[in-house]
Structure 1
């Protein structure tokens, strides 16, 4: 078991975020908690347990392995929807366990049909439409063939939903592209409905789209980053604030990442710190060694840029991030010592280190930095 650090997950922060999202979307819109990428680095097992306790009963995952993790401990209590990979070998498990899944091409549709017939159990499908993301989904020209199969074999399909995904709703630069997608989605939906095929729900919104384009909320929203207390981008946050009198962030960060000082040493002026010669001490310095490196998910791109919190001070990472260690400047902290708490993400003495500030320093997304956090780090649920 990893003992270098611990990740704490705040149940109260999650409850706050879920309550905010439900109030924003209204009671008629269902909330699906997106927990792909190990629940955005929070730990899929721990986080789904917390979300279920907060009243969430619908989860979206990328692949069947993630679905199996949720199914193993929440079983029939929740709805699980696979948005991405379902191999032919996994189709039996998905259908027999009544897991919902996206169908975005004919081969998968036919495999689902064959498996449903074999086990005499309906496949719970969401038909994904290609509206301009150019990644997955049925094109408009494929609708005829799709409709024919769905109508002919309707006893083997439970048409749970029709969906799409937007290409960068977090940026106003993509406004016209997203607007075009919204219109195309509705056009294709109407074609399907006109052939007497009616999905139970329509859904298309991720966190960014749900705020930037309220019309995309439809029947269900697939919310990832915002439930964890982070905004998809500064633009989305500003867009939200511009609609409110109170300019206060309604979200609370769920994750706190903590470690401890492993060693302290003095470095003389003129000496290099760490590998190579990327950092030269221009004065006599006190350096704290933290047992966290890029193997734990603390990006090497934060070398000589990252910040951590120690005794209420914001301390700079100096030298290169190593595989298992980093060095930080504690020269101006007179009483820093081994075993002192180090905050990598979170709050200490009213000072905060956010994932967003990591992104500003390393030119990486919130999403990427979170999902890189090692699965071996213990997750601890707190109030």
Structure 2
């Protein structure tokens, strides 16, 4: 790889995390690989996890499902967004499992399935309090009564999504769980017995909420992080992503020298300024201007001046022996220090999910494959 910047994905860490989650949950796993596996690479992650026996791979939309199937994936694929009317034929023809929560789509799936003399597995998406996607929990009996007579549809599963399972106060999570249990009971009254029930996302898995439904649905935990600032006390996770660059220029400057656009930073004394070829085009957020830190020779050094589109400046005055070509770690470990996605997220007022997606999707990735 000739690029100066590289995002390194440790697939051994992803496999480790999957095994940890499966052991903790004592349940089957819907491994969420949507959004290019949170920036980690959907296809390499799926290929690493397939031998581990996930029950499903969870993707967001049809395009991801098509890409995953084309890679040779043999695990059932769940499209969690559901589908649009014009996508019904592709779902039926490719045997995907789809989230279902609209009567009009149910009718179209039924018609298409009957035309092809096949059956389409669906997971009913129930909104228990997220107010995002799904059949409102109180409306579920009416929806099921509509879908139940439709031929060509296999009511394979039902799921929901916790809104605040990553927060210490579990009152609302408990309320959502109660609503989901009610939905299961209402389904039983209609003689519907779902094979697959899942409600536990990463936060719920780590707090052991909703583990009694047979399946869990981890996302960010697969990649080594807990949601928000939540400690992963019940499990040992390994972060899978690191982001590294190299110093391309060093210069010694006197005190009161302005650095970067807008002259928002002036050196306070004689300083050594390093330039690295990383900027907001590479997913390194501009809000890290005069705010971020980078590791050089195992030492934390500050970002000085504004982050540019392709370049960022560092004050490396404290680093003994610093040289052009030295590695600069923006995410990950070097020596005894580590910069985490959680640390970066806190500095710029966002969440670790966004850090992974932004960096992972903006750079060429290289992979560390697990030992057999």
Q: Structure 1-normalised TM-score?
A: 0.91
Give the gaps of 5 or more residues in structure 1.
Answer: 244-248
Aligned residues: 369
Q: Is the 8 A contact 1:205 1:217 kept in 2?
A: no
Inter-partner Cα distance in structure 2 for 1:373 and 1:70:
21
The more displaced of 113-122 and 297-306 is 113-122
Superposition pairs of residues 50-65 of structure 1, within 5 angstroms = 50-56=48-54, 58-65=56-63
Shift of 1:140: 4.2
Superposition pairs of residues 1-383 of structure 1, within 5 angstroms = 3-26=3-26, 29-56=27-54, 58-75=56-73, 77-153=74-150, 155-173=151-169, 175-235=170-230, 237=231, 240-241=232-233, 250-373=236-359, 375=361, 377-383=363-369
After superposition, the CA RMSD in angstroms is 1.9
Q: Is the 8 A contact 2:137 2:180 kept in 1?
A: no
Inter-partner Cα distance in structure 1 for 2:126 and 2:248:
52
Shift of 1:191: 1.1
Inter-partner Cα distance in structure 1 for 2:256 and 2:247:
24
Inter-partner Cα distance in structure 1 for 2:39 and 2:141:
41
Inter-partner Cα distance in structure 2 for 1:142 and 1:63:
25
Inter-partner Cα distance in structure 2 for 1:344 and 1:140:
44
Q: Is the 8 A contact 1:295 1:374 kept in 2?
A: no
Shift of 1:330: 0.8
Inter-partner Cα distance in structure 1 for 2:142 and 2:333:
55
Inter-partner Cα distance in structure 2 for 1:270 and 1:262:
23
Shift of 1:82: 0.7
Alpha-carbon distance change, 167 to 267 in structure 1, aligned in 2, over 3 angstroms: same
Q: Structure 2-normalised TM-score?
A: 0.93
Shift of 1:144: 4.1
Shift of 1:326: 0.7
Alpha-carbon distance change, 340 to 85 in structure 1, aligned in 2, over 3 angstroms: farther
Q: Is the 8 A contact 1:182 1:216 kept in 2?
A: no
The more displaced of 367-376 and 98-107 is 367-376
